[in-house]
Structure 1
Amino acid sequence: MLLCQSTVLVVLQVNTFWGWLVLLLTVVGSELIFQRNVLKLQGDFYISGFFPLHDTDQTGSGRPVLEDCKLGSENKHGYHLTQALRFAVEEINNHSGPYPTLLPGVQLGYHLYDICSIQAGILATVNVLRDQQAREQQASRPGSGPPTSGPHTSPVAVIGPDSSSMTMPSAVLLGAYLVPQISYESSNEMLSNKVIYPSFFRTIPSDKIQVAALIQLLVRFKWTWIALLGSDNAYGLQGMQSLSQLSAYHDICIAYQAVLPKRTATNTQTLRNMVDAILKTNVNTIVLFSSKSRLVGFFPLVVERNVTGKVWLGTEDWIASALIAEIPGINTIGTVLGMSVKYNTIPGFGGFERKMKELSKRVNAIEFSKLPLSPLGKCLQASDMYALAASEHPMDSYDFASSFNVYRAVYAVAHALHRTLGCDLGGCRVRSIYPWQLLPWLKKVNFTMGNSSMYFDENGDPPTGYDIVAWIWRGSHWTVREVGSYTPDPSTLTLETSQIEWSYSGDPTSVPLSICSPDCDVGHRRLQTGQHKCCFDCLACPAATFLNKSGATSCQPCPEKEWAPPKSEKCLKRTLLLLAWDAPLSIALLLLLAATLLLTTGSAVILLLHLDTPVVKSAGGRTCLVMLAALTVAAASALCHFGPPTRPGCLLKQPLFVVSFAVCLACVTVRAFQVVCIFKFASRLPMLYDTWAKNHGPEYTILLLSGAVLCVSLLRVAVNPPEPSADLRFYPDSIVLECSQTMGPGSWVELACASLLSGLCFSLSYMGKDLPANYNEAKCVAFSLVVYMLSWICYFTLYLISRDPFTMAVNVFAILSSVLGVFGGYFLPKVYIIIFRPQMNTSAHFQNCIQMYTMNKQ
C-alpha cells in the first residue's frame, strides 16, 4: 500500500509566491496530465485528505520549488491523522461506528495526499480541482449526461491541511469552486471570513477564541507584564496581532514582542538576542503564539541561556506536542501552561492502529528505486504507509486531539451526504452530486460525538472551546495535566489552581508575579513613569479626594457634604458644626442667660417699686425701666444662636440685639447728657435746656437715636436678608451651620451705628466724671462699654479664624457680657443702695452731696 503511484516535478521561475499560484490556476484548465500522489480507496463518493506525512526544509533558494517529500523526515503526527480518516471511513462503510445507519448502501472512498510543504498542498489542491473540472467538462459534452450511479471521479469534500499557512492558499482555490473543505488544525481567525473562504469549515476553534482564553488566563493570575513571541507564519502573526490588540483592553502590557524565524545558521544569533531581551525586560510570563516547528529551534537556546522560573503560555499547536517536550533540558525552564483542543477518545482507534502495525510486519516494503518513472521525472512524493506504520509512533495528547478532529470532520461530511442523498426517506439514493450541492447541508449538520455536540456556526467554526493544560514533570518523565477549561459562549474560564505545579522559587504553590510595578495601595493613584501604563509610581490622594479601585490614574473628589483625609478609599460624612442645645457649653451658657434674665427682670421690679426714690430718679426714673426691658430683650436674643439656624432666627438674631442694645445706650446717652447739662451748661443756656426738657426732648432724642439704628437694621434685612446656610469651604471636614451675611456689608453698617452710639455714650459719661457721686456713673459706664467693646472684638477676631461651636459660644457670651456689663456698671449700684443702703436713698443725702459738690467748685 504506497502513498504514491507516480509523481510530478514542478519548478516554476516566478518572481512572487502569488504569481506562482496564479500560474498553477492556469494549469488546472490545461491539457497537461498530472499524475496524483495519493492513497486511494474506491467508493461511490470519496473524500480527499491532506496530511503531513513528511517534513521538508523549504529554505532553499527562496523559489517556489516542489521538494521531494520522501527526502524529508517522517511526521508521526501526520501518520496518526491519516489513520483517523481511514478508521472513520471504515466505520461508516462497515456500519460499526456511533451512527451505523448513516449511509446505508453507500461506500465512501478517499484519496490521501502527503502535504509536506505549501507547494505540495497547492499541487494537491490543483489535482482536486482538475478532477472537478474534468468531470464538469465530461458532463457538458452532448449526449453524455451525468451518471446516476458508479464511483465519482472527483471528491465531494476535502479534509485538511494541518496548518493555517498551508490552508489559506488551498481554501481560496477550493472556495472559488465551492468545494467544501474541513480543516482539523487551522485556527487562524482570518479563515472565518466567508467572503474570501466561502466553503471553509473547521473542527478546531478559531484563534479568536484561543486569544480570548489566553487573555482570561493572564487576567486571572494578574500577569500584566509579559513578552509575546510568534512564529513567522499566518498562524503566529495573526495570533500576535489579535492578542496585542485585545491585551490593551485588559491593562496588559507587552514589554517585548518579536517574531520567531526558523532556526538556521544565519539567524541563530538573532534567536539568542531574543532570549537576552526577554531576560532584560524582567518579565516572568512569556506567551508563545507559535507553531512547534519554530519552537524546536528556539527552546534549546532558552535552555542554553539557563532561563529558569518563568511561566510559558502556549497555544494548541505545541502545548501537548512531544516534539517540544522531548527537547533536552526543557524541564528546567519553568512552568508551562497553555491551550489544548477539547477531544474525546475514539473507541477502537487504538486497535485499528495496532492492526496496521502488525500488518506492516508481514508486508515487504517496496523499494522506491523500483517505482516506475512518469514522463515528467522520477517520483518526488512517494510514501510507504507500511514503513510508517512499522516505525514507533506512540500517540500523545496532541495526536489524540487532532485525530479526534479528523474523525469528526469525516462524520460531518457523512452527515451532510446523508441529507444530500435523502437517506432519511428509507434508503440513500445513490446519484451523481457536485461538491457545491453538499455545501448547504454541511452548514446544517448537528450531531453528537461522544459527550459534545458537533455543528458549525455562520463562520464555519465549531462551538467548542479549549482545555487548559499544564506540564507536569517527574524527573525526566513528562505528562500533560488538564487544569481547567474555557468556553466561548458565554466566556467562562474555570481553573483548578491547586493542580498546577509552579516552578518558581522552589515553592510549587506560589503563583509567580509578572508585573512592572506593584499595585498601589488603596487611596493611591498611579503616575505613569514610562511608555507602558503598567510601569508607574504611586501617589497618595490628597485630602477631600478618595480612590476605591486599583489602576486609576486620578483621585475622585468627594461630594460637597463629605470629606476624606489623605490616602482615603472612601469619603466620610462631614461634621455639622452648630451650638447644640444639649452640649455642655450650651447648658452653661443657658444657665448664665437665665441668670441674666432673672437679674434684669428682678431689677426692673425693684426699680418699679422704688420709682419715686431719689436713687431711681437720679438714674433716669421711668427711663430705667425702658433700659432694663431693652437689656432683657438683648439677652433673650442669644436664644437665636442655639440649635440649627432657622429663617426666623436668622432674621431676628443680630437686629434684635443691636436695636435693643442701642435703645439702652440711647437712654444712657440722654441721661448722661441731662446730668452734664444740669451741672455744667444749664446756667449758660438755661432757656435752651428748659425748652428741650419741657418739650419731651429726652424722649424724642432716645426715640430718634434708637429709630436710626432700627432703620439701618430693617434696611439691611430687607435688602439682603440673612438665610440659614451651610458653609462648606471654611473647613474641609466640617459643615458650619450658620446664618448668611454674618460678615456682610449690611452687618458692618449696623454694627458701626451701634459703635458710634456707644462712643457718644462713653464721651458724655466721661464728661461727668467730676459730678457728685450720686450722679457720677462715668467709671461704671466706661467699664460697661469697655466690656462691651472687648467682648465683640474678641468674637469677631475669633470668627475670622474659627467657626466651630466654641466661636458660636463666644458670640453668645459676648451678648450676655454686654448686657451684664451695662447692668453691672449702671444698675447694680442702684439696686445695691435700694436694698442694702436705704439711708443713702433719701433727699437729704442727695442734697448733701450736691452742697458738697458746690462748695468744692467754689
Structure 2
Amino acid sequence: MDLLLIISDVVSAVCYLLFLIGESCGRRTSTSPPSPCRLSSNKAMFQYEYYQEGDITIGGIFTVNHLIEYIQTYEIFHPRLLCTIPNVKNYATLMTLIFAIDEINKKSDLLPNITLGYHLYDTCGDSIQSVQNVLSIMTGQQLEVPNYSCRKHGEVAAFIGDMFSMAQLLGIYGYSKISYNDPDQLSRTNDLYRTFFTTTQHEDVRYMAISGLMVHYKWDWVGILTPFDNSGEAEAEKLRRQLNVHKVCVAFIIQLSSDWSINSEKLNIIQNSNARVIIICGKFHLHYGFLQNLAFLRENITFILHESWSSAFHMGADILQAINCSLILTHVGQYIPDLESFLDSTDVTNRPNDPILEDILYFYFACFIPNENKQFMFEKVYTIEVRNCTGGSYPITSQIARLTNPTFYQIYTAVYILAHALREMMITTKGINNGERTNGFRGKLQRFLRKVSYIDHTGQDITFNKNGGLSLPIYLLNWIYKKEASGYTFRTVDVGYVQLDEKQVFVIVFDDKIQWKTGKIPQSQCTEACPTGYRKAYPKHIQFCCNDCAQCSAGEISNVSDSEHCYKCPDDEWPDEKKVRCIPKSVEFLSYTTDILTSVFSSISLFFSVITLIILRTFIFFWDTPLVKANNRIVSFTLLVSILLSFLCVFLFLGRPVDVTCLLRQISFGFFFSVSVSSVLAKTIMVCIVFRATRPGSSWKKWMEAKYSYYVIVTCSSIQVLICVLWLLVSPPYQDADLYSYLGKIIIECNEGSDIWFYSMLGYLGLLAAVSFVLAFMVRTLPDSFNEAKYITFSMLVFCSVWIAMIPAYLSTKGKYMVAVEIFAILTSCAGILVCIFFPKCYILIMKPELNCRKQLVEKLNY
C-alpha cells in the first residue's frame, strides 16, 4: 500500500475521533473563539504559506519544492526536513490559481458582491506536513487544532490541490476537493471520497489508452518504471492488470531506489531485457539521471511518459536527449488570456515576501535573497556562487517553455468550476446569510459541484461525469528534440488522440507523423516474430506473450508473420515448400505422357499380344496337323484369343481413369481371364478323360466328344459373367479421387464400388486355377507327345504363385502402384500360360515338324 495513504489514513482516523469528541462536547466554532485561537506562533523559516482574505476562502495544497534529508546538524536547520529546489512549473501552477481568483474577483457578473480569498501551502510533497497544513487552513491560523475554527470571516468552502492523500481527511469534515492531477482517486468508492472531484479523466481511460497503443504497434513485452517515493506503485499494478487484459505482458516492474548502487543493478536488468518500450509511472522528478544512463546504454528504448512530464520542457539537454522521440498521453492545455503577462509580472520586485520566489531567485538566477537566515543556511549547504541582483527583473516565464501547459488550464478550470458552483448555490439559496458560516453550506456546495455545467472561454463543455471527473480530450504527443541550424530545439507533435465510446476507449494514431529514435517502429516482443509458415507455440513455463515458433502441420499454412494459428488448405490444394501458400495438389495416375511405368506396361502388353497373334497364326497355319488336332483346335483357339484379349485389356488400366474405363477394366479382365482359365481347365479335364478312355472297355469314351469341352468353358465362364453382372447391378465401379492417402497428391483411381464382389471375381479365378492345377498335377506323368498335362501344371503353378504374391502387395499399396501390381499380375499370369502351354507346341510345329505326325503320337502312346 502507498506509504502516503497509510500515513494519511492514520492521521485521518485520529482527526475523525477528535471530530466526534468535538461534536459530543458541542460546537467549538462560535464567533468567540476558544483559547487555541488566541495562541500564536512564529512562522518557520521554511513555511511556504500564501494567504488573502475574502468572503469565501479557497484552501490549497501544492507541491512546489522537494524534500531532501540532512545528516549534518546545524542549529538553524529544520530539525527534520529541508524544502529546497523549487519546480518553476509547479510554482507557476500555484500562481495560476491566484491569477484565476483575482480574475474572478474582478468580474462583476460571476460572483457579484462576493470576493474569493485563498489560503495556500507548499507541502514539499511531505504527507505529514500536508496534514498539518490542511488542519492549519481549517483552523484559520498556523497552529493546527482539529475541529476548531478561529476564522471570523472567510470560512473555507473547498480545497484545490495536488495531494491526493488529503482527500480522505477532507471527506471526514465534508470539504469538497478539486484536484488537477490525481485521477486515481476516482476509482475509490469509500464514502470519505464522495467529496472528491478532479479536472482530469479517470485514470482507467489512460490505462486503456496505453493498452490500445501497445496493441496498435504489437508491443507485447514492455517494462514499467516507478520512482522510490511510491507515487507510481499503485498505478503500475493497475496498468499491469489492464495490459494483461489486452494480452500485453510486463517484462519487469522496477521501483527505483535512492541508492545509486541498487539502481545500477536494476539498470542491468533493463539492459538485458528484450523490452524496447518502457512505461513511466508516477512523478519521476528525482530520477532523471537514471533515464539518461538508460538511454545512453540502450539507444533504441522508447519511453511512454506519465502525464506529469508534460511540463518537463525546462529540463536540461541531456534528459531531453534521453527521452527524445518518446510518447505521452496528456490533456493538451489551452491558452489562458492574460496569464502570461501576470506571470511576467511575478518577480521579486513586486512580490518581495514570496518565500518560493526567494528560492527560485537563488537556485535559478544565483541571486542573494532578502531572507538572511535562509541565505545563511543555503550557503552552508550549497556551493552556488550568488550575486547581488538588486534592481533586476527576473520573470519566472523565462523558465517556462510553454504557457499552454495542461496543468495551468486544469487548475484554472478548477477555480472557475468552484466559482460557478458557488454562483448556482447563491442563486438557489438567495445569497449567503452574513451570520451563516461556510461550514453550514459546504454540504450544499457538493451537490452544486456535481451539477455544474458551463462553456469555458475555449468552447469546451465543462461538466463532471458520474465519476467526478472531466471528460477533457486526451491527445497522444510525440516529443522531438533535434539539432537544427539555430541549435537544438524541442517541440511536441500531435500524433493521435483518445476517442471515448461509452465504455470503450480507442486510440487513433497517425503513424506517419511519429518520429522514432531508430527511424522505424521499435519492436518490443518477448520473442522474435514467427516467420510465415510457422505459428506461435506457448510452453507452459513462460508468460503467454513469450512463445516458440512451430512449423505448420502437414496440410496447413500461415501467410502472415507472427500468426497465432495455421490454416488448413482446401482438400484439392497443398502447402508449398515454405508453407506460405496453398497450391493445387499434383494429380497421380498411370499417365501415358509422364509415367515410365505406363510405357513399360504398354510395351510388354503389345509385345505379348503380338506373340499371341503369331502363335495363333501358327496354329491356324497348322490347323490340320495331328499335333493341333490332338490339342483340341477350338479350345486352343479360344484360349489364345482370350489370352490376347487379356493382354489388351491392360490398356483399360492405363491412362486417366474415367467412369467408362472403371466399369470395363475389372469386368473385362475378369471375363477374359475366366475364359482362359476355363479353357485350361477344359484341356485338363479332356486329358484325364482321354487317358482313361484308352483302356479297353472304358466307359469314359462317351465323354471324349469336343462338345463337352465347350460346355466346361461356357459353364465356368458363365458363372464369372453372373458375378460381374451382379457386381454392376449392386455397386458398380466408378472414377474417384483419393485426397488423403498421400500428402500433396490427388490419386485419380477407380473405386471398385464393392470389395466383396471384386474379391469374389478374383476368388473365382483362383478356384478355377486351383482345380486346373490339381487335375494337371495328377496326370503330369502321361506321355508328353500325347498330352500337355505337364505344361498345364507349370502354367497353373505360375498363375497361382503370381496371384498369391499379388494379393498382399495389392493390399499394401495405394494409387497408381496398386494398379501397377494388378497389371503386373495380369501380364505375368497370361504370359505364364502362353509360354508354358504354347511354346512347346510351336517348337514342334516350327522346329521339329518330323514329330508332328500320327505315327509319332501312337508310338508315344504305346510306350
TM-score, with structure 2 as normaliser: 0.71
The aligned amino acid for 2:534 is H
1:630 is displaced (CA, Å) by 6.2
* Structure 1 residues 125 and 318: CA distance shift in structure 2, 3 A: same
Change (3 A) 1:551 1:449: farther
Distance 1:527 1:546, change over 3 A: same
How far apart in 2 are the matches of 1:609 and 1:415?
Answer: 130
Pick one of 466, 470, 494 that aligns with 1:462.
470
Q: Could you tell me which residue of structure 1 aligns to residue 159 of structure 2?
A: 158
Q: 1:577: which partner in 2?
A: 588
Hey, what does 1:546 align to over in structure 2?
A: 557
- Aligned-partner SS, 1:732: coil
Q: Helix, strand or coil for the counterpart of 1:664?
A: helix
Partner residue, 2:685: 673
Question: What CA deviation, in whole Å up to 9, does each residue of 1:20-51 have, x standing for no partner?
Answer: 32222344464465689964555565543333
Query: Aligned partners of 1:449 and 1:234: how far apart in 2?
Result: 37
In the other structure, the counterpart of 1:182 is 178
AA aligned to 1:472 is: Y
Change (3 A) 1:536 1:587: closer
Equivalent of residue 279 in structure 2, options 277, 282, 287 = 287
**What's 1:482 paired with?**
493
Alpha carbons of structure 1 residues 159 and 783: separation in structure 2 relative to 1, 3 Å: same
**Alpha-carbon distance change, 632 to 302 in structure 1, aligned in 2, over 3 angstroms:** closer
Aligned residue for 2:431, secondary structure, equals coil
Instruction: Rate the CA distance shift 1:624–1:293 in 2: closer, same or farther, 3 A.
Output: same
User: Which residue of the partner structure matches residue 400 of structure 1?
Assistant: 405
Aligned with residue 343 of structure 1, among 312, 333, 342: 333
* Partner of residue 492, structure 1: 507
The amino acid across from 2:117 in the alignment is Y
- Which consecutive unaligned segments of at least 5 residues does structure 1 have? 1-13, 139-150, 371-385
- Closer/same/farther in 2, CA of residues 778 and 112 from structure 1, 3 Å limit: farther
8 Å CA contact 1:45–1:108 kept in 2: the answer is yes
**Cα shift at 1:279:** 2.9
Q: In 1, Cα distance between the equivalents of 2:403 and 2:222?
A: 26
Query: What is the distance in 1 between the residues matched to 2:455 and 2:621?
Result: 116
Q: Does structure 2 conserve the Cα–Cα contact (< 8 Å) formed by 1:630 and 1:664?
A: yes
Kindly state the Cα deviation for residue 235 of structure 1 after the two structures are TM-superposed: 3.8
Q: 1:78 to 1:574 in 2, by over 3 A?
A: same
**Structure 2 residue 431 is the aligned partner of structure 1 residue 430:** yes
Q: Percent identity?
A: 21
Q: 1:80 and 2:92 equivalent?
A: yes
Q: Cα RMSD over matched residues?
A: 5.7
CA, structure 1 residues 689+434, in 2 after alignment: closer, same or farther (shift >3 Å)?
farther
Q: Distance in 1 between matches of 2:807 and 2:687?
A: 34
Alignment partner of 1:519: what SS? coil
- For 2:824 and 2:644, locate their aligned partners in 1 and report how far apart those are by CA, in whole Å: 15
Name the residue aligned to 2:386: none
Give the counterpart letter for 1:237 in structure 2.
E
Measure, in 2, the Cα distance between the counterparts of 1:769 and 1:20.
126
Counterpart in the other structure of 2:529 = 519
Query: Counterpart of 2:365?
Result: none
Cα distance in 1 for partners of 2:536, 2:10 equals 53
SS in structure 2 opposite 1:204? coil
Q: Check 1:328–1:583 CA distance in 2 against 1; reply closer, same or farther (3 A cut).
A: closer
Work out the CA distance in 1 between the residues paired with 2:643 and 2:456.
100
Aligned to 1:808: 819
Residue aligned with 2:853, SS: helix
Give 1:49's aligned residue: 60
What is the distance in 1 between the residues matched to 2:805 and 2:391?
110
Q: Name the aligned partner's letter for residue 287 of structure 1.
A: I
Indicate if the aligned counterparts of 1:772 and 1:849 stay in contact, CA closer than 8 A. Answer: no
Answer yes or no: is the 8 Å Cα contact 2:591–2:655 preserved in 1: yes
Q: Which amino acid aligns with 1:321?
A: A
Deviation, 1:447, is: 3.0
Q: 1:629 to 1:492 in 2, by over 3 A?
A: same
Deviation at 1:159, TM superposition (A): 2.2
The answer to whether structure 1 residue 119 and structure 2 residue 128 are counterparts is yes
- Residue in structure 2 matched with residue 383 of structure 1 by the alignment: none
| CA shift digits 1:137-188 (9 cap, x unpaired) | 99xxxxxxxxxxxx98444443222xxxx21x32223345654322111132
Match of 1:209 among 205, 208, 220: 205
Q: Quick one: structure 1 residues 60 and 454, their matched pair in 2 at CA, closer, same or farther if it must change by over 3 Å?
A: farther
Structure-2 change in CA distance of 1:239 and 1:677 (3 Å): same
SS of corresponding position for 1:294: coil
Partner amino acid, structure 2, of 1:159: I
Is the 1:209–1:488 Cα contact (8 Å) retained in structure 2?
A: no
What residue is the counterpart of 2:579 in the other structure?
568
State how far apart, in whole Å, the 1-side matches of 2:8 and 2:196 are: 22
The one-letter code sitting in structure 2 at the alignment partner of 1:854 is V
Aligned equivalent of 2:416, options 411, 416, 420: 411
1:80–1:69 CA distance, 2 compared to 1 (3 A)? farther
Structure 2 residue aligned with 1:853 = 857
Letter in 2 for 1:468: L
Q: Residue 796 and residue 735 in structure 1: after superposition, are their counterparts in 2 closer, same or farther (change >3 A)?
A: farther
1:353 aligns with 2:343: yes
SS at match of 1:111: strand
CA offsets per residue over residues 562-611 of structure 1, 9 Å max, x none? 54366523444443434579988899889999999999999999999999
Q: TM-score by structure 1 length?
A: 0.72
1:276 aligns with 2:284: no
Per-residue CA distance 1:87-123 (angstroms, 9 max, x = gap) = 333444444xxxx96x263645132311413234334
Spell out, residue by residue over 1:489-538, the C-alpha distance to the aligned partner (whole angstroms, 9 max, x if none): 24124245555262x5xxxx255554454323222345668745566554
Deviations 1:204-246 (A, max 9, x none): 2333333334344444555544432212456401221123223
**What is the Cα deviation at residue 732 of structure 1?**
1.6
Structure 2 portions without partners, runs of 5+: 23-27, 29-33, 73-77, 359-369, 374-389, 434-439
Judged with a 3 Å threshold, the aligned counterparts in structure 2 of structure 1 residues 832 and 155 are, in CA distance, closer, same or farther, namely: farther
Pair 1:735 & 2:746 matched = yes
Match of 1:380 in 2: none
Corresponding residue of 2:380: none
Inter-partner Cα distance in structure 1 for 2:219 and 2:391: 47
Residues 724 and 418 (structure 1), Cα distance of their counterparts in 2 relative to 1, 3 Å cut:
farther
Letter in 2 for 1:345: Y
- Alignment partner of 1:256 is 2:248: no
Q: How far apart are residue 439 of structure 1 and its match?
A: 3.6
